[in-house]
Every structure is written in structure tokens, then in C-alpha cells.
Copies of this chain bind each other. A is one copy, B any other.
Amino acid sequence: MFEAVELGRKISKEEFAKGEQELRTGLLKAQFALRDQKFPVIVVIAGVDGAGKGDTVNKLHEWLDPRGLETNVFGTLTDEERTRPPYWRFWRTLPPKGRVGMFFGSWYTDPIVRRAYGAIGAAKLDQEMRRVAMFEQMLVEDGALILKFWFHLSKKAQRKRLEKLESSKKTAWKVSPNDWKHHKLYDKFVKICERALRQTDTAYAPWMLIEAGDDNYRDLTVGRKILEALEQRLANPKPTTAAHAVSAAHDTSTVTILDKVDLVTKADPKEYDKQLPRLQGRLNRLTRAAWEKGVSSVVVYEGWDAAGKGGNIRRLTGAMDARSYRVISIAAPTDEERAQHYLWRFWRHVPRAGQVTIYDRSWYGRVLVERVEKFAKEAEWSRAYSEINDFEEQLVEHGIVLTKFWIHISPEEQLRRFEERQKVEFKQHKLTDEDWRNREKSAAYEVAINEMIARTSTSLAPWTIVPGNDKRVARLTTIKTLCDRLEEKLK
């Protein structure tokens, strides 16, 4: 795979000077056009040690306008990063639309280095690369332009390069003991990289191998490839990846899981008054224990309008210490959120160790309201299922207790509550015209809900369908479910 970039390509000083002038003008122009076209550009710079990755990044900073550009380096995890799933640190640094994010070190670094040191096996590396591929696909499908460069040097060239750097006082600091350590592992390292590259060399985010022996050739080639890709994309605003809208194959005519929810059973008020504090006490103990052990939780609330989410959440939070949780109410996104992939606004609230984040409505909006109201295109919402499953897998793998509630009520009960809200002054603000409009679309919502549950109730992150006609039953159900989940995790 790498032979093609061991050809000794060079560019003379004169040729470089000429090419640089032209390239720079082009890059600045493209970067300016990018601001209006509004898609993010992600440039990954990776490759063997001593290949001059840092030099190229610096050169690109010289050529581009640094005001539309951010370079991200990923050193040791900060403690805020450490207590969240590994991709959190990448999500928080993704460039918004219209900007360029350069990734010096990226989602590739850690798996490859760990594999080279033998900390993980080949199967785990493959798994990590599958995640990388999905991550990149998701971003590209959302409009991102991803450019990945792999800087290659032969083993001999690497040794020469490191020696040369070390020989000059000006550059010796660039060589770390790690570089020599990696050099000794060169053959192993290259083999692992080849495997990783092959698995992530996709049509939507292909790798570009760069021969790194000659500084001029390397820098100019990377710059030109970036310019080429930018110009191509700017000229052709539609993403070139096939937007594979798969029509849902689920049969919606038969009896669905929602039809089977027991909406009849009521809780005896006296029994409820006894049960509730008991369960809340249990939840209090469990969330305290979770806090002490650094186990964090994510609780998702979805349900029909007027299903009683707010009151339910208050019973849950009533049992917890105010310091340990945060309720994130999902309304219209802010413009910073709109400039990112739709999952970004949820990633940013992923809890730290021991904390609980309660999402009052969530990423499922993508396949519910956004689908029904056509805010999202079919291609967008239909690919969201796997994006969501992958997101949730990352939460669970990190040890987060993930609980998802669908609070279900019958159409008749919903009508009763709407009418009650109209009557009671204190509750009027809870009922908007939109609620009535949504209600008219309940058939379309039902299709969407059923498909959502069918496709995202995974063994790692199952849905809990909560019977909501009786608020007491609903409240006891959610608290008990969360208790059981926490207990299971903490035992």
C-alpha cells in the first residue's frame, strides 16, 4: 500500500515558490467562499513520526486565513474528558459550518498507538475503525468535507529524518524519545496503520497518502489537494455521497407495540402515597452510591404531548440531590447548535462522572417531530436510527446507565388533558396551538414512534414504554425502572 509513496518525489525551491503563490491565492479565495456555503471542513493530518506533520500544519496556517481555522491537538485527556465517552473530546472540537478544523492527532491516534503497544488486539482495532468509519460517514452525510492525509516515510527515510532533526539545535526539540521508540516498532506500526487505513479508506472520506521525504513536495501537495477538494465541493454544493433513503420496511398496519400498552391499570392513591416516598428513598440512595463510584446516568424522556413528562421528571428529580443532576429541555436549537451535526447539542451535555443528565425530549426528535413535520429530509431521518444507536452504544460502553422512557397515553386521555389545560388558568401556558396541530397528525406520529421503538430498542439501550394514562402508575414506573438499572450497574 505504501510503496506508491516511496518514490522520492521532490519539488525544487523555485517550483515551490511559484506554486505557493498561486496556491495561497486559491486557498484564501476558497476559504472566503466557504463562509457563505456553510459546510464544515475537517482536515486530518496523520502519519509516521518525523514526517513533518507539524511543519505542514504550520504551512497551512500560513496559507489559510487563521481566523477561519482551528487546529486541534489531543494530548493527555483532561479530567473533564476522561470522565466522558472517548469521542466527547472530538465532538467538542468539531468545526462549525463555514470553518476549517485541522486535526493533528485524531480519532485514529489512540487505537493505533494502543494496538502498536499491544494494549488491544486486532479485533478491537477493527471494531474501533468501524466506529471511525461510521463517525466520518455521519459527518459527511451531514455535509462535512473530510480530508485525511497520511504522511509516509520509509523506515530508512524516517531514521535519516530523525537524525537530521536531532543534529540541528534549531530542530532537535522536535524529536522526542517516543519518536525513536516508535521507529523501533516501525514495521509493526506500518502494518497496523495499513490495516487501519484500509478499513477507513471510504468513498466519502478517502485517505490521501503523501510522500513525506521532501518538505516542498509534501507541503505543496497537501495544500493543492485541499484546494482541489474545496473547489470541487464549492462548485458542486450537493454532497456527492448517495443519500440512501431506505423506505422503512416495518409493517405498520398490524397491531403495534404501543397498542399493547396497558393503559387501564390505575394505582390506588393510598398505595401510591406509600410507594412513592419509598421508591424515592431508594433512588436517593442509589444515585448517591452512583455519585460516589463515578457512575453517571443519562435519562431520556419522550412521549405524546401532555403525557406528563414534566411532572414525572419532577418526581424523579425530587428524589435526587440537586447537585447531582441537570435537566436539559430540548427546544429550538441555538445558532451555535444549528452550525453543527444534530447530535452535537446532545453530546455537549453528556454528564461527567457520577452525574445525571435528564433529557426532556432528546435526539429522538430527529425521527419523530423532524420526520413528521418534514424538518429533516427522508435521507436524514432514515439514517438517524443507526447514528443514534451508535451514539447510545458509546454512552453505554463508557459505563453510563442509559434509560429511555416513552410515556404513552391514549388519544382520549390526551384530549381530556388538553381540555383540562384550557380550563385551568394555571395550566393554560402549557397548551399551544402546536399541540392541537400535532394531535391532528397523530397517525403519522404513530408510524414514526413504532419505527423508532422497533429500530432503537437495542439490547444495550432498550426503551421502557411507560403506561401514562394514570400519572401515578407512570411515576412509579419510571422511578422503579431507573432504580433497577442503577442497582444492576452498581452491584
Measured CB to CB, the residues of A under 8 A from B are 25, 28-29, 32, 54, 57-58, 60-62, 65-71, 73, 78-80, 102, 104, 170, 173, 281, 288, 310, 313-314, 317-318, 321-323, 326-327, 329, 334-336, 358, 360, 426, 429
Contact = CB atoms under 8 A, between A and B. Distances in A.
Nearest to A73: B323
A104 B66 contact: no
A339 to B, nearest CB: 8
B336 A67 contact: no
B322 A67 contact: no
A69 B313 CA distance: 13
14 contacts: A28-B426, A32-B429, A54-B323, A58-B318, A58-B322, A61-B317, A65-B310, A66-B327, A71-B322, A78-B80, A104-B322, A104-B323, A334-B334, A335-B335
Contact of A54 (B65, B71, B102, B322): B322
Q: How many copies does the complex hold?
A: 2
Nearest to A104: B323
A202 to B, nearest CB: 27
- 6 A-B pairs closest in CB distance: A67-B329, A66-B327, A57-B322, A73-B323, A71-B322, A61-B322
Nearest to A61: B322
A16 to B, nearest CB: 16
Contacts of A69: 327
Given A66-B317, A79-B78, A335-B335, A71 B323 contact: yes
A329 B67 CA distance: 6
A173 B313 CA distance: 25
A338 B228 CA distance: 37
A69 B32 CA distance: 40
B67 A360 contact: yes
Contacts of A25: 426
Contacts of A173: 288
